[in-house]
Amino acid sequence: MRRRRARPANLRGLFAVSLMLAIVLGITAVGAARASARGGPSAAAGPPGIGLAWGANGSGQLGDGTTADSSTPVAVDLPAGTMITALAGGGLHSLALTSAGTVLAWGANGSGQLGDGTTTSSSTPVAVDVPVGTTIIGIAAGNSHSLALTSAGTVLAWGFNDFGQLGDGTTISSSTPVAVDVPVGTTIIGIAAGNSHSLALTSAGTVLAWGFNDFGQLGDGTTISSSTPVAVDVPVGTTITALAGGGFHSLALTSAGAVLAWGANGSGQLGDGTTISSSTPVAVDLPVGTTITALAGGRFHSLAVTSVGTGLAWGLNDLGQLGDGTTISSSTPVAVDLPAGTTISAVAAGNRHSLGLTSAGAVLAWGLNALGQLGDGTTTNSSTPVAVDLPAGTTITAVAAGAAHSLALTSAGTVLAWGANGSGQLGDGTTVNSSSPVAVDVPAGSTITAVAGGGFHSLAIVRPTSTTTLQVSPPNPKPDQPVTLTATVTCTASTPTGTVTFLDGTKVLGTEHLSGSPTATATRTVKRLTPGKHSIQARYNGDDHCPASTSNPTAVMVRKPILPVTGVSLLTILTVGFLLTLTGAALVGVLGRTVTPGAKR
């Protein structure tokens, strides 16, 4: 079904979540650290872990069981034993992909975007009602609708559907997943959700699109919205490998390293040398011989990384977000004015600021800086890249941009943030904006593996940790006295299971199974410890969700036995002593009567 629709009044972040395919390949890959328009969604993926969230929470989008904003990270209240591999943020809702191939959702649900069969918002994760036997491998969140990619290469959708963005041939919203009506024989390998439209990458390197199309963002040569997938009209023989999107336009990276663009173009964000919107893909006018390796879309501008580590930008430039030293918008790519000798490996785009990750692990920023989102210690806009004021010795591995704040993941697994902080989205325990990076107040010992910036909140995946403690009773046993060893294990992911091995230095005293929930214990009784010093430890051996951990060593001293002097033993000793005394006296007497030869008598 195709139809014309009136343009919606609010188009926050028309397209904001990049393909999960690209995200899974690494959070510095195409679109891995994306937040496009104000309040727009973003995504993060990493090794299995638990979720942290901070910032705005009016609809429960932090998933901690409250609707109170938080200026420090709070744990997403996942079901016991659940590990997540990806997070995605919609307008006011969040999604999580679990290691078991299921999907959880929380936050606003007025259009059914949580997919649990209700339209009741939830401040804790609820299970998305996917068909029995279905395994999900990718997720994407639009403003008020959600998408999931299955292991069979099909797509499910749920939530708001007024423009056909669920792709099921209707414009009826759904609170449970419906099958997207992809052409027979088509296998989908990546998905993306815009504000009110959706995109999918096929195994053949083609692109499908459905939903709102007033600006030509479906790329099928029309401006007619469609409730079923239509083929994006890419040139014959072109293979698409990744997608990225801006506020009202879409970008595609080809296998040849070229870029196609379609949709709104009022500021030149399609990069084809015009400011005329296009309902079919046009070639971005790259410099001759240029190969693109990564893309990012801002609200009205576009960014690209080349194979030689330079940056290109095009589109709106009123605040210097193109980074070319001017504030003149450009409908063709211009070179980002990087410092001499600097190469970049990834880019991210906020509303009107841009970020670049350098090959040396530093971060550059340019564009709007009114709230400190450039992180250089000032609130002065910059039309050329400035160095983010990172702490000495810090190496950054990934960057993400929110609407007006920025995030960086360090090689040590910590997170830095800077810029707008009115809702606590910097996670430093305050709601004060910061023009230089502050440390996100993650729990001690946590290792962050992926981070994403939403419009007014932030999401992260943290590797689970376990802690093992040991109690020895009695603490200073007597010789031959039994000793009870009790190990207590806690885990941030779930109740720990498995075994604990008790050690005396390198000697294994035995292995016992854990029991109890949510704190688990294991106990072993040692019949005796030999006299001397002992260093006792408990080593938790880990399970599928909780990593191994070892307690601090506990020093135990067993003193050598002292011969008892009581009872019959005392009588025996006295008797023997008396007899020895008499014997000694007799010998002295005999010796005293012996005459030395030659002596006088």
pLDDT for 38: 29
The mean of the pLDDT values for the chain is 88
**Local confidence band at 185 (pLDDT 50, 70, 90 cut-offs):** very high
> CA–CA distance from 18 to each of 15, 30, 212, 215, 340 (Å)?
8, 8, 17, 19, 31
- For 228-249, the pLDDT digits (tens) are 999 999 999 999 999 987 778 9
Domain ranges of the chain: 2-463, 466-558
pLDDT for 494: 82
pLDDT for 131: 97
pLDDT for 3: 45
User: By the 8 A CB rule, do 395 and 409 touch?
Assistant: no
Q: Is the pLDDT of residue 588 over 80?
A: no
Structure tokens at 547: 């990593």
**Local confidence band at 579 (pLDDT 50, 70, 90 cut-offs):** confident
CA separation for the pair 385, 321 (Å, rounded): 9
**Local confidence band at 30 (pLDDT 50, 70, 90 cut-offs):** very low
CA separation for the pair 356, 393 (Å, rounded): 18
pLDDT for 125: 98
pLDDT for 456: 85
Q: Is the pLDDT of residue 566 over 90?
A: no
Mean pLDDT of 345-351: 92
Q: Is the pLDDT of residue 182 over 60?
A: yes
Least confident piece of the model among 35-49, 262-276, 364-378: 35-49
Q: Is the pTM of this model over 0.85?
A: no
- For 117-149, the pLDDT digits (tens) are 999 999 999 999 999 999 999 999 988 999 999
Q: Is the pLDDT of residue 32 over 70?
A: no
pLDDT for 446: 87
Q: Which fold has domain 466-558?
A: Immunoglobulin-like (2.60.40)
Residues in contact with 382: Cβ distance below 8 Å, sequence separation at least 6, in sequence order = 320, 365, 366, 367, 369, 374, 376
Q: Is the pLDDT of residue 11 over 50?
A: no
pLDDT for 117: 98
**Which of 23-32, 464-473, 557-566 has maximum average pLDDT?**
464-473
CA separation for the pair 280, 261 (Å, rounded): 8
**Local confidence band at 595 (pLDDT 50, 70, 90 cut-offs):** low
CA separation for the pair 226, 249 (Å, rounded): 17
Q: Judge if the upstream peptide bond of residue 474 is cis by omega within 30 degrees of 0.
A: yes
Least confident piece of the model among 420-429, 470-479, 563-572: 563-572
Mean pLDDT of 176-204: 95
**Local confidence band at 317 (pLDDT 50, 70, 90 cut-offs):** very high
Q: Is the pLDDT of residue 574 over 90?
A: no
CA separation for the pair 265, 248 (Å, rounded): 8
pLDDT for 419: 95
pLDDT for 35: 27
**Local confidence band at 591 (pLDDT 50, 70, 90 cut-offs):** low
Beta partners for residue 263, in sequence order: 249, 278
As a whole-number percent, the residues of the chain with pLDDT over 70 amount to 87
Q: Is the pLDDT of residue 65 over 60?
A: yes
- For 256-287, the pLDDT digits (tens) are 999 999 999 999 999 999 999 999 999 999 99
**Local confidence band at 63 (pLDDT 50, 70, 90 cut-offs):** very high
Q: Is the pLDDT of residue 175 over 60?
A: yes
Q: Is the pLDDT of residue 213 over 50?
A: yes
Multiple choice CATH, 2-463, 1.20.1250.40, 3.40.50.720, 2.130.10.30, 2.40.50.110: 2.130.10.30
pLDDT for 436: 98
